[in-house]
Amino acid sequence: MADADDIRAIPRLTTDAERRHLKGLTRTVLAGVNGGDAFSPVTRVEKAVLSKYGSISFPDHFIPLDVAVELDRFADAPTLIGGAAAMLGYRLVPTGDADDAHQLTVADAQSVAKETSEVVTLLLTLLASGKKLDAADRQSVMKEVVEAKASLYRVVNKLSGGAA
């Protein structure tokens, strides 16, 4: 009978770098939605397991596809699914009425302004305090950055006609 480590000897179609990238995307999106505490109540996975999905300390624990879709919906941006599509050489294109779906609105500009200014405000506040950033500070900044990226992603998507 083979031991449990034999499974790792089987050649895989993803590289170590790609798997680390998926872990990083998972960790980033989870941080952006206030972590497993905020997300676990709306999915089938508990906080501790969600943490494993983003941790390189658990190299064989990856977020299941249905949970990745839920997390992207919860974060309001297709970060995980888009990252996986990019690894395969594809890009996501939104469905719907092309004319309406790709029109920039004042709300888009307001969202970008709000979300990016929250990043800048938080960074300036933390840096002005003079203290060394701790894990909670980094998580707070990461949350704001992910929200800003989601807002910018929507604008890029509209500007590119859904080819982002």
pTM of the predicted model as reported, rounded to 2 decimal places: 0.62
Q: How far apart (Å, rounded) are the C-alpha atoms in residues 75 and 27?
A: 12
Residue 100 confidence (pLDDT): 59
Assess whether pLDDT exceeds 70 at residue 1.
no
Asked if 39 and 63 count as a contact pair (C-beta separation under 8 A), the reply is no
Residue 163 confidence (pLDDT): 58
DSSP the chain: ---GGGGGGS--SS-HHHHHHHHHHHHHHHHHTTHHHHHGGGSSS-HHHHHHHT-TTSTT----HHHHHHHHHHHTS-HHHHHHHHHTT------S-HHHHT---HHHHHHHHHHHHHHHHHHHHHHHH-SPP-HHHHHHHHHHHHHHHHHHHHHHHHHTTS--
Residue 31 confidence (pLDDT): 87
Convert the pLDDT of each residue in 40-97 to its tens digit.
898 999 999 999 999 999 998 999 999 999 999 888 889 999 999 999 999 887 776 5
The structure tokens listed for 132 are: 């060394």
Residue 19 confidence (pLDDT): 93
Convert the pLDDT of each residue in 104-150 to its tens digit.
889 899 999 999 999 999 999 999 999 999 988 998 898 888 888 88
Q: How far apart (Å, rounded) are the C-alpha atoms in residues 155 and 110?
A: 11
